[in-house]
Amino acid sequence: MRTFVSLGLLFLFAAGVAQAQSTEKAASASTPPRAQVAELMTKALRDYPGKEGKMIVVTYPPGSVDPVHRHYADAFVYVLEGSIVMGLNGDKEVTLGPGQTFYEGPDDVHTVGRNASSTRPAKFVVFLLKDQNKPVLVPVH
């Protein structure tokens, strides 16, 4: 009897794990991968009280898509590798490759930010001129 109960519990446990893994795969398949951000440097700007310069590297995995957001900063983008698609305020999108640049102003809403490829990563550097102690990215709903 004890073996039968143990086998039954084992079967239920295995079924639960399989269902959880299936649900997790379905959720991750419907959700694009998120950008990976690495901070390179932050420096207070003595000539501009209350402002700082911040440099970050953003890596878009294949298929990565940013949520709609804003920076409340001057943002200067330089593409290192791959191709990215950028768009501001619902205007025309642009596709950028290595060596190309993009500018985003403090009042802009970043409506499109994504990897142009579903198979290759993309990487770019961003220099932000922003208010100190303010977040780099603010989601727009």
Rounded Cα distance, 73 and 133, in Å: 12
Domain ranges of the chain: 1-31, 36-139
| 29-38: average pLDDT | 87
29: confidence class by pLDDT, cuts 50, 70, 90: low
For residue 133, the SS3 value is coil
- pTM, two decimal places: 0.76
End-to-end alpha carbon distance in the chain: 57
Residue-wise pLDDT for 61-110, tens only, equals 999 999 999 999 999 999 999 999 999 998 999 999 999 999 999 999 99
The CATH code of the domain at 36-139 is 2.60.120.10
Residue-wise pLDDT for 120-139, tens only, equals 999 999 999 999 988 998 99
Interacting residues of 42 by C-beta distance below 8 A, sequence separation 6+: 52, 53, 54, 55
Residue-wise pLDDT for 85-95, tens only, equals 999 998 999 99
Q: Residue 131 has which token pair?
A: 């208010």
What size, in residues, is the chain?
A: 141
What's residue 28's pLDDT? 52
Single-letter amino acid code for the residue at 128: L
